[in-house]
Structure 1
């Protein structure tokens, strides 16, 4: 095998080198092998960072309606991803950050599983590579009312086979890169506090406290604001040099495309145009000559987000004005139509059109990046791993008027069209069988039917990274999901929950929330007592939710899925619950315990010296412990060193202590520790899947000290 730097050789082809195929071994032996961890005491052997020969971020964007940050990456090569589609492959790791103006906030990680795929061509004869993947994270934004637009900057770090360090927005990837764009956050409702600074104090003194002290509702404002008419748009945009065939376009199209609009309405519109000194004949001629104009907005990326079973298109809004109004108006709509050639026969299937509202803003450099998200029933497309599915998909962006739903080749007036190739992950196909697909946020076949714990290699939710540590119990709410197989539509099902600890059984009849194929929320309410409910369809319940259960306690539970057919038991799942993490020592419990003792010798104040202490951190499904110092005059004190007696390093945080506890010392000699009150906090974390969404429930123990 030829080796070089991993860059293209003389022929322009990329050659697989040791720096790629031995990447994990190289950084295991020397974490600073490539010079990306200069603070570590290791020599640099092969300086390299930001190599995009194999993968590269194309876009990062945000969906204001779904509050998701989306990143699109291109996988460029046919090799270099640790194996074909029937192997474990490797991971493209991503970490997202958001900056609202006061520094980067860690928005969380995501990952994409990638494989080697042989070179090939699609029906039109285009190469299958690059393949476009999308990964995303849910984000809880900082909202303000529409009069104060929130346009933060988002960043994504892409790193192949090495997760970016949490909390490090400057992490330098070896294989991968970094991409940024500004995005727009949907505004919340206006509340009194938004203008309180402008109210004279003598007026404020007359207002009741409940008015002064009210807090804003953090949800998006459902009122889009007023729609600007043609006369207002003409006055507004003449001074901004927005051409008339741009700002008049939505209203002209709305009139011409609506069959029910009569002569009186058309005449009224013409009179308004005439009063505004607009030449409609000239505008219509200009529109006839305008096709695929991308001066104001442009579709840049398209890919498949397996985590949310959706195609995601990213478009860039480029100008300050020309979008039918500012942020406290109705603005205008960007429409994105999605198409796919699932059968590779050069025929597109229309999948749907997504609307995104846009406004005039004082744009930051680079404009604003928006994500349009179209859910897809991927379960109907899955195939075995030895028959990989890589398909051509298309998105068409059109401003002010929906694009065609019958002609995938029709260019819009304002907007553009792009094609990309995506990979649908392999998996079981719909076969008419009712069964559990997901239990407690984990694939049902990765939850052990004997122990009720997750098996090694299990992943949680949309993540493709195995749970670490593995062998996880469940806590809080356990959700149960099944396939949206259309052959099951019309059937009724129910779930029998049996407490294996001797608590009997009952049928799940708690109402639960679902999301339909348009992203709208809904509710399913099983029949009280008997638990019967209609089998979910993809259009009404895209994630196939079957039921929820929140029993509490630490017992094992069996869930039996029954269908309205003869011999109606069709599947069974078992979960081990563990809702307990102790923050005390119970003489009757030698397995779960937590305690923290500080040797203050009974003094009200302790000197700036080493403080003797002892802690206990134990749990049946233990994951980790941590010790931290809180408080002080600044609220963010430096963290003092912790040592075992004899000034030895502390135990690994992944190790439990004996029930009798572990002695250690806290070094309080740091001159940055001002005389003040502090809290020493012990946090104990287990490895339970909590509410089917996150890993790790915790308990904390606080002990206060007053430092001289």
Structure 2
């Protein structure tokens, strides 16, 4: 390892080192707090990028994921080294729709103070590149109608961007936008075919819809490439050429691009017939095939059409993420109703900074012609899982590593030469930090219910104060309160040879362990998901990492019939030993109730301007929070706030918490008072909270 540290100390300003304390003293200290505008800012700071900055945003249509990459620029100012807690960099995503910006979700990555230094080729190890991911599934249902919406990412250090506030500006961080391409999900043909069996449909309508009716039987499946037409050079010439005054055809696209795939194929399998056919197709637009072959041979690293911009490591999902931009409307072998073309991204690593690149794998993303390509092009991502357990390091041995991505259009990049430049595309290097973790020495439950077992008490089965979700990096509770588990509790751990089984033991009732027989899903290196089912006694074989990159060993599908009790999840192998982890179940919904006490009780008739009072009940052993709201009326919601006289993060007192509401401004109509409550249970290994609501009605009657 060639890491050379700098001894230069980083001076961290007060607004950074005391950031949380300053916000606690005045939520609008920096002038960006929504709802606290009446508080005078002390020091206005907006979008300071001296410490961190977004470097890429994109979308992976096949995986249906929004991803952003950001750079950590300095060696200090992040809350401690890798043996400390550090701080969180939050990224909230938005996608623009016909009705405004859709909040697509929040993710976070934990960052630390990493000493600056030089790598093995004497390049600066900063900036460090981190990536985060949120799922986002939205589609277009007709290939003739493309959906290329604007996406936005808001990066904010140590302070999560508020939900549904797309124009919010962070104190430390940045905002980035780019248009993305949503995937196609054609489920029309099945419905249209059924319709033609019972209704006479005009033939001209059938003919018009034929090009867009290639679909699958199940909407959950992706459109298979072989079901869509692959355009030949002759068809591409027809697509990209226009007649001149002399009635000759003029090719409006780079001939090297148009014929690239077939010229490449000729190199490996050339026949006189194939050469003659290709030559004739190009001759109609005045292109000589022999000259074209030489021109393609002389072309390397062309970024006219697409360009790789960034590569980073997603520390939550253990994935390398490459971001690239498609720059031109055409030149991608057909529109959305064809097979289009393929952008390949090969990934390389030098985890030990030894100046020896090792090939990891290649990801693929489809690209198409879009006549309505937005200014700035389209931003895509390609990602590849990495087996982080192979490179596990203790925190004391953590230092930056080198990674490389190589983008290539229509032909996969080299898997043996990391320096080889493709004809179309480029390469990008970056420095990343592999999160520290204990080296794996035997079978282990690493993650339970979406949370690392190091964050879960083996006595109480509850999460600790610093617990985060393993897939998103977000805190399980913003206030650090303990969280139980409910619904589907996934069990994850490293793969070993041989077989294993999972057992569950009801500890509170003193019952004997029983084998876990529930089916569960695993995802392989290529993103393909399959379902596995243990045998009658619970035994099942470990899969190699390439066939189970998320390390899912099983799922405990807990139910309210299991009781809100502590269970021990046990991993057992015949000869390699095992592991166990306690988990506290909670499948019970919060208790809620609401009433109107003044004036007149529930379901009353009131004049505008009357102040209502009532009682709200919201209780749970693990309450997250509750609220009271008014719904109804011609507009659906009123503007006047419901004021609860209680802490909405605590159980309401005996008899309920008092709430008040001023009805001034309400028009004659029916309304409801609604109480909502959420608990802190981690449900289905992915999100917080069982939810429960109830309401009571009243009417406004104008005098």
Same fold? TM cut 0.5: yes
Q: Point out where structure 1 has 5 or more consecutive residues left out of the alignment.
A: 1-11, 208-214, 583-592, 644-648
Alignment correspondent of 2:319: 310
1:393 to 384, 388, 403: 403
Give, in whole Å, the separation in 2 of the partners of 1:194 and 1:249.
38
CA distance in structure 1 between the aligned counterparts of 2:603 and 2:466, rounded to whole angstroms: 51
Match for 1:331 among 324, 340, 350?
340
SS in 1 for 2:527: coil
- Superposition map of 1:607-686 within 5 A: 607-608=607-608, 609-635=610-636, 637-643=637-643, 650-669=645-664, 671=665, 673-686=666-679
Task: Check if 1:286 corresponds to 2:295.
Answer: yes
- Contact residue 502 and residue 516 of structure 2 kept, 8 A: yes
State the alpha-carbon separation in 2 of the partners of residues 479 and 271 from structure 1. 59
SS where residue 680 of structure 1 aligns? strand
The answer to whether residue 692 in structure 2 is matched with residue 690 in structure 1 is no
Measured after TM superposition, the shift of residue 630 of structure 1 is 2.3
Aligned equivalent of 2:46: 49
* Structure 1 partner of 2:257: 246
Tell me what 2:240 maps to: 237
State whether residues 440 and 691 of structure 1, in contact with CA within 8 Å, keep that contact through their aligned partners in structure 2: yes
1:520 aligns with 2:517: no
C-alpha contact (below 8 Å) 1:191/1:216 kept by paired residues: no
Tell me the residue number matched to 2:3: none
Distance 2:682 2:187 in 1: 38
- 1:326 shift after superposition: 0.8
Q: Does the aligned pair in 2 maintain the 1:337–1:395 contact within 8 Å?
A: yes
User: Using the alignment, how far apart are the partners of 2:510 and 2:183 within structure 1?
Assistant: 50
1:655 CA displacement: 2.0
Distance in 1 (CA, whole Å) between partners of 2:577 and 2:414 is 46
Alignment of 1:126-525 (within 5 A): 126-191=123-188, 217=219, 220-222=222-224, 225-239=228-242, 241-257=252-268, 259=269, 262-274=271-283, 277-361=286-370, 362-431=372-441, 433-468=442-477, 469=479, 470-484=481-495, 488-489=496-497, 491-500=498-507, 501=509, 504-525=512-533
Q: For structure 2, list consecutive stretches of 5 or more residues without a partner in the other structure.
A: 1-7, 206-216, 243-250
Measured after TM superposition, the shift of residue 603 of structure 1 is 5.8
Conservation of the 8 A alpha-carbon contact between 1:461 and 1:693:
no
Matches within 5 A, 1:16-27: 16-27=12-23
Q: Are the structure 2 counterparts of residues 701 and 504 from structure 1 closer, same or farther at C-alpha, using a change threshold of 3 Å?
A: farther
Number of equivalent positions: 658
Alpha-carbon RMSD: 2.6
Residues 626-675 of structure 1: CA distance to partner in whole angstroms, max 9, x if unpaired? 1122232233x1243334xxxxx621211211232233332222x2x332
Moved more, 460-469 or 12-21: 12-21
What do residues 298-342 of structure 1 show as CA deviations (whole Å, max 9, x unaligned)? 000110011221100000000111100011111111111111112
Deviations 1:491-519 (A, max 9, x none): 11011212232555421122211001111
Kept after mapping to 1: 8 A contact 2:645/2:657: no
**Contact 1:294–1:416 (CA under 8 A) maintained in structure 2:** yes
Cα drift, residue 183 of structure 1: 0.3
- Is structure 2 residue 135 aligned with structure 1 residue 103? no
8 A Cα contact 2:484 2:680, kept in partner: yes
Structure 1 length normalisation: TM-score?
A: 0.88
Comparing 414-423 and 465-474, the one that deviates more: 465-474
Q: 1:481 to 1:628 in 2, by over 3 A?
A: same
Report the CA distance between 1:192 and its aligned residue.
Answer: 6.8
Q: Name 1:9's counterpart in structure 2.
A: none
1:221, distance to aligned residue in structure 2 (A): 3.1
- Deviation string 1:177-197 (CA, Å, 9 cap, x unpaired) is 10000000011105279999x
